[in-house]
Amino acid sequence: MNIQLIGRWLQQALLAAVLAAAWVTASADPTVKKVNLETGVKLQYVELGPRDAPAIIFLHGATDSSHSWSATTPFLSDGYRTLALDQRGHGDSEKPAFGYSIAQYADDVIAFMDKLRIRQAVLVGHSMGSFIAHQVASAYPDRVSKLVLIGSAKTGVANPVITSLWQDPIGLASFQDPIDPAFIEAWQTGPNPIDPAFFAKVLSETAKVPALVWKGIFRMLLSDEHSYFLEDITAPVLVIWGELDALFARADQDALLAALPPGARFIAFPNAGHNTHWERPQAVAEAIRAFIMN
């Protein structure tokens, strides 16, 4: 009898049971709320899980919304209070004409935590949201217990894909509302098919983002150099990356890991794209849970 093999099987069975319980727990409709922040914006957010459980705050990427996390949070909300934000300019949150800098987005996160009386939380950020998350973790280290960066990089400055999109069409005067649905679909389409209903909602959420916000956040990504603050992060860090990521390459992951304090963990998902949490929501949730628990 192979005791080690049996032990591994029992571990896998236990993990499968935990994830199944998480899905059942979260099968009820999520709570959608709005909150006025001291930074001057009203944000919508989606909450799942026990209110007295440890908090995980999810920050979406550029032109996404809280919906970006709707396939992932059900696998975590049995034991955690999951809070997915529509960040300023996105989803059903307010869309001011200004305020699109990484520092201002980070201040929104802290104002959100203050409003909900959350002293400390795990932060999970994807793409643009990952830049905001590591800005929060470096500027407010006592407020972040652990940090998860998905589809991230050290910086967006000089990124060839972001630069090309700014040059044509986003930075052009002709890029105006309403945004061309064909452009939205091309922007959000990854290398692998995802649930059609989920993707249809992604497209409808992206269509809510006005041209002025597209321009504001792309200017931010190309000009806001905040990577020298990465060394100030004190929270444990997990970096998740899809090997087919067309926005941030493996070299970007190496640069990010080199800029972070020693000890950051790295998980590469084979055959996954930039939106790893859309393509592999359960596996991403499993990785986040294991990271938090260890």
Q: What is the pLDDT of residue 29?
A: 63
The 10s digit of each residue's pLDDT in 166-205 is 999 999 999 999 999 999 999 999 999 999 999 999 999 9
The 10s digit of each residue's pLDDT in 76-115 is 999 999 999 999 999 999 999 999 999 999 999 999 999 9
Instruction: Name the band, by pLDDT with cuts 50, 70 and 90, for residue 30.
Output: confident
Q: What is the pLDDT of residue 19?
A: 41
How far apart are the C-alpha atoms of 166 and 203, rounded to whole Å?
Answer: 20
Mean predicted confidence (pLDDT) in 46-65: 97
The amino acid present at 142, given as its one-letter code, is D
Q: What is the pLDDT of residue 16?
A: 41
Question: What are the boundaries of each domain within the chain?
Answer: 3-293
Q: Is pLDDT at 12 greater than 80 in this prediction?
A: no
CATH 3.40.50.1820 fits 3-293, yes or no: yes
Q: What is the pLDDT of residue 10?
A: 36
Q: Is pLDDT at 28 greater than 60 in this prediction?
A: no
Per mean pLDDT, which range of 21-30, 140-149, 166-175, 255-264 is the poorest? Answer: 21-30
